[in-house]
Amino acid sequence: MQKAQRNENELRCHCHGAIFDLESGAVRCAPALKPLQKYKIRMDNDSIEVDLDKLLPQSTQRDDSISENVVIIGGGAAGAAAAESLASAGAYVKVLSKESVAGPYDRTLISKRFAEVPLTKEVNENISYLSSTEVLSIDPKAKLLRVKRILPDPNKIGCGPKKKWTFEEMRYSKLIVATGMRPRYLPGQSSGITVYNSSDVERLQELVSGKRVTVVGGSYLGVETAANLVMLKKKNKLESMTLVIGEDHPLSTPYGEMIGKVVRKKLEDFGIEILSESVVEKVEDEKLIFEHGSEHSFGALIQCIGGIPVTSFLPEEVNFTGELVSVNDKFQTSCEDIYAVGDCVKIDGVSYNPHWAAAQEMGKAAATHILTGDATKLRQTMVWSSFGKVHLRSVGARADDCSSQKHYIDETSDRYITAFLNENEHVIGCVTINGDPVCAQVANLLEIHDHVRLEAFECLF
Dump pLDDT digits (tens) for 412-440: 999 999 999 999 999 999 999 999 999 99
Which neighbouring-strand residues pair with 443?
Answer: none
What stretch of H or E contains 442?
Answer: helix 438-446
**Do 86 and 151 lie in a common domain?**
yes
Query: Which among 28-37, 192-201, 344-353, 374-383 has the top mean pLDDT?
Result: 374-383
Rounded to an integer, what distance in angstroms lies between the CA atom of residue 276 and that of residue 268? 13
**Do 363 and 404 lie in a common domain?**
no
**What does the angle CA 400 – CA 406 – CA 412 come to, to the nearest 5 degrees?**
125
pLDDT at 100: 85
Dump pLDDT digits (tens) for 279-323: 999 999 899 999 999 999 999 999 999 999 999 999 999 999 999
Mark residue 416 as left, alpha or beta (left: phi above 0; alpha: psi -120 to 50; beta: remaining): beta
Could you give the residue ranges of the DSSP H alpha helices within 209-355?
Answer: 220-231, 233-236, 252-269
In a domain, residue 315? The reply is yes
Burial class of residue 360, CB neighbours in 10 A (0-12, 13-18, 19+): buried
Total structural domains within the chain:
4
Q: Is the peptide bond before 437 cis (omega within 30 degrees of 0)?
A: yes
Longest CA–CA separation in the chain, Å: 76
Q: What is the CATH number of the domain that holds 239?
A: 3.50.50.60
Dump pLDDT digits (tens) for 335-381: 999 999 999 999 987 766 778 899 999 999 999 999 999 998 899 99
Dump pLDDT digits (tens) for 94-129: 999 998 887 777 777 888 877 777 777 667 889 999
pLDDT exceeds 90 at position 36: no
pLDDT exceeds 70 at position 43: yes
Q: Which of 303, 332, 355 is the last residue of a domain?
A: 303
Query: What is the bridge-based pairing of β-strands 320-321 and 212-216?
Result: unpaired
Q: What is the pTM of this model?
A: 0.90
pLDDT at 63: 57
Rounded to an integer, what distance in angstroms lies between the CA atom of residue 79 and that of residue 41? 36
**Do 277 and 230 lie in a common domain?**
yes
The amino acid present at 410, given as its one-letter code, is D
Task: Quickly state the pLDDT bin for 48 (edges 50, 70, 90).
Answer: confident
**Do 218 and 285 lie in a common domain?**
yes
pLDDT exceeds 60 at position 58: no
% pLDDT > 70, the chain: 92
Write out the residue range of the structural domain in which residue 248 sits.
183-303
**Do 187 and 299 lie in a common domain?**
yes
Contacts of 388 (CB under 8 A, 6+ apart): 227, 231, 266, 270
Range with the poorest average pLDDT among 62-71, 72-81, 323-332, 377-386? 62-71
Rounded to an integer, what distance in angstroms lies between the CA atom of residue 134 and that of residue 308? 17
Q: Are 335 and 319 in contact (CB under 8 A)?
A: no
Rounded to an integer, what distance in angstroms lies between the CA atom of residue 311 and that of residue 261? 37
pLDDT at 352: 66
pLDDT exceeds 80 at position 64: no
Report helix, strand or coil for 33. Answer: coil
User: What Cα–Cα distance (Å) separates residue 176 from each residue in 193, 362, 427, 458?
Assistant: 29, 11, 35, 42
pLDDT at 130: 94
